[in-house]
Amino acid sequence: MKPYNFKVWAHPVSHMSRDWLGERVAIPDVNRILKNILFEQDDVSWGPNNKFKYPLRGGTGGLYNPMIKYVGDHLHVGKTRSFG
């Protein structure tokens, strides 16, 4: 989980407290999980991201693609640039 958490939070796991993480990780309802397993049903209304809506088309890229016309000339993907 360390690589994933660093990618998500851009912060070393060693500097994160359990209290801080606890506010951002949903606590599962074991009874709800067992019921879903028993009835073989998906539970799409659970968790902190259940209301997060991706764009209708294009996944998360759909959030950024419209900005390319404004910033495209300034992007340098895979290149090093020094400032100063």
Q: SS3 string of 20-73?
A: HHHCCCCCCCHHHHHHHHHCCCCCCCCCCCCCCCCCCCCCCHHHHHHHHHHHHH
pLDDT band at 38 (very low <50, low <70, confident <90, very high): very high
Question: Would 80 be classed as within a structural domain?
Answer: no
Domain containing residue 44: 2-74
Residue 41 pLDDT exceeds 80: yes
**Which pTM value belongs to this model?**
0.39
Question: Would 34 be classed as within a structural domain?
Answer: yes
In the predicted model, what is the mean pLDDT of residues 42-69? Answer: 74
The chain-wide mean pLDDT, for the chain, equals 77
Question: Would 19 be classed as within a structural domain?
Answer: yes
Share of the chain above pLDDT 70, in %: 74
**Domain count of the fold of the chain:** 1
